[in-house]
């Protein structure tokens, strides 16, 4: 940890040693439980305009009788500051991917997918079987818990649901965040359709407009 802090301080010093040095900007996506995302949102608000929140989503996925709940949030700003976001997110059990301008310049049709890990793996398999050319550039999984509740569709008294809740939350639900590049532009809509039909949340970088 001390070594990491020293490295970040050196990088920050190099970035600010001259007024002519342009600070590189990047995009970061954090996924995890609501408490983690709340903390990262506060960190962005308190960053003195170094990091902007582009959007945040609270997600409830109903699978059978269970509701799986998680949040994800997208940032844009100082890439060195975003490295702090990455370290804090991973230490807290969240998932994190970062997109640089180099990615935008060298990789076609970038997309970020957010969903439970088993769902991500299923759609990756489906896309591969359709012979769509794509690459996974980054992948990150949560190690902290994802909140789970018995669905409201299940007609049980709330006190009984409360009794069972600790057992459901103890079961492992891994959330994955994946940065994907799709080779052909005409295949993007097909990938998006497969993803959304499987309740995977897709961030298409063609839709991201950011002022630098």
What is the structure's pLDDT at 2? 56
What is the structure's pLDDT at 9? 52
What is the structure's pLDDT at 59? 84
How confident is the chain (212 residues) per 10-residue block, as mean pLDDT?
55 51 87 94 96 92 72 95 96 95 91 92 94 96 71 48 47 83 94 92 79 50
Which CATH code of 3.80.10.10, 3.40.50.2300, 1.10.287.620, 3.30.70.1150 fits the domain covering 2-206? 3.30.70.1150
- The ranges assigned to domains in the chain are 2-206
Paired tokens of 126 = 């489906």
What is the structure's pLDDT at 133? 95
Selection from 36, 45, 51 nearest residue 82 by Cα: 51
Q: Which residues have C-beta within 8 Å of that of residue 147, sequence separation ≥ 6?
A: 33, 34, 68, 69, 70, 169
Alpha helices in the chain (DSSP H): 2-16, 34-45, 79-91, 101-106, 117-129, 158-170, 188-197
What is the structure's pLDDT at 199? 86
Paired tokens of 1 = 């940890």
Checking phi first, is residue 98 left (phi over 0); if not, alpha (psi -120 to 50) or beta? beta
What is the structure's pLDDT at 188? 94
């Amino acid at each position: 940890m001390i070594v990491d802090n020293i490295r970040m301080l050196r990088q920050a010093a190099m970035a600010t040693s001259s007024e002519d040095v342009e600070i590189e900007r990047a995009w970061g996506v954090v996924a995890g439980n609501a408490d983690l995302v709340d903390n990262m949102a506060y960190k962005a608000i308190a960053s003195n305009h170094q990091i902007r929140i582009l959007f945040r989503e609270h997600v409830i996925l109903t699978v059978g009788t269970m509701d799986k709940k998680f949040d994800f949030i997208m940032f844009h700003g100082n890439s060195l500051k975003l490295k702090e976001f990455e370290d804090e997110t991973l230490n807290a059990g969240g998932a994190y991917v970062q997109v640089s301008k180099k990615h935008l310049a060298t990789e076609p049709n970038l997309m970020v997918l957010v969903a439970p890990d088993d769902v991500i793996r299923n759609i990756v398999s489906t896309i591969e079987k359709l012979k769509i050319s794509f690459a996974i550039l980054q992948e990150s999984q949560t190690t902290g818990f994802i909140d789970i509740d018995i669905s409201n569709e299940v007609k049980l008294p709330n006190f009984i649901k409360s009794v069972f809740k600790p057992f459901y939350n103890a079961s492992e639900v891994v959330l994955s965040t994946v940065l994907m590049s799709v080779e052909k532009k005409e295949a993007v809509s097909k990938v998006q359709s497969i993803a959304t039909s499987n309740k995977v949340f897709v961030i298409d970088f063609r839709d991201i407009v950011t002022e630098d």
